[in-house]
Amino acid sequence: MNNNPQQLLFNIDLDELAAIQQIVGATESQVKAAYNRALSRTARTVRSLANKKIRDDLQVKSLKAIRKRFQQFRLRSPSKQKKLDELRLWFGLNEMPVGYLRGRIKRKGTRRNPLGAVFTPKGKMQAQHYEQGFIANRYNRRSIFTRKGESRYPIQEARVPVSDSLHTTIEDEIFDQLPDIFLRHFETDLKGRVAMGRNRRNWRE
């Protein structure tokens, strides 16, 4: 399991926030409220983009498998909104069972002299070698398994570390979109608050 969540820092153009505030005639309280809502909406948008990108790059068989294994995916203001020009994205993805990914599995050695098994992903990851692995049909899928101890049972499905691939995917493919996504959500929410007269003053997170 991945116990080392990644994080990325990105900046927000304060001049753009001020320009949007001036255009729609919003109060500081409404700006803070819209900013907070834009954080959660941006996190959901980016997570959805990441889900689809990871599915394609890693050749995951279903989006459901990715959603279950996202350790965390949070977007926060490091200064707790005392400064609005900086946001930080935390994310982590647990290791995935071999059977959840498209690819080719192959036994190494012979039945009499087994040397483990190899999984070659169809996606962009490198081949994974399991010296103590063996191929079997379990849980309604053919995959690579390992034994937990010296005895024949219990067994567990071999897993593929995907954290590095996740970091590369988000940093290279999605990171540059974050400011624009955030500003779009911020502007939409702020316009709605001004039109409805909500949170004109004394907004609290």
Integer Cα distance of 89 and 36 in angstroms: 14
Model pLDDT, residue 24: 94
For the stretch 89-111, pLDDT in tens is 766 677 889 998 999 999 998 88
Q: What own/partner pairs with CB < 8 Å and gap ≥ 24 does 115-121 have?
A: 117/144, 117/158, 119/144, 119/158, 119/160, 121/58, 121/59, 121/160
Can you list the residues of the chain whose pLDDT is less than 70? Answer: 1-6, 68-74, 76-87, 90-92, 163, 165-166, 202-205
Global pTM value: 0.69
For the stretch 27-47, pLDDT in tens is 999 998 999 899 889 888 888
Model pLDDT, residue 2: 45
Model pLDDT, residue 25: 94
Residue 139 burial class via C-beta count within 10 angstroms: exposed 0-12, middle 13-18, buried 19 and up: exposed
Model pLDDT, residue 188: 96
Model pLDDT, residue 111: 80
Domain residue extents for the chain = 6-95+162-196, 98-160
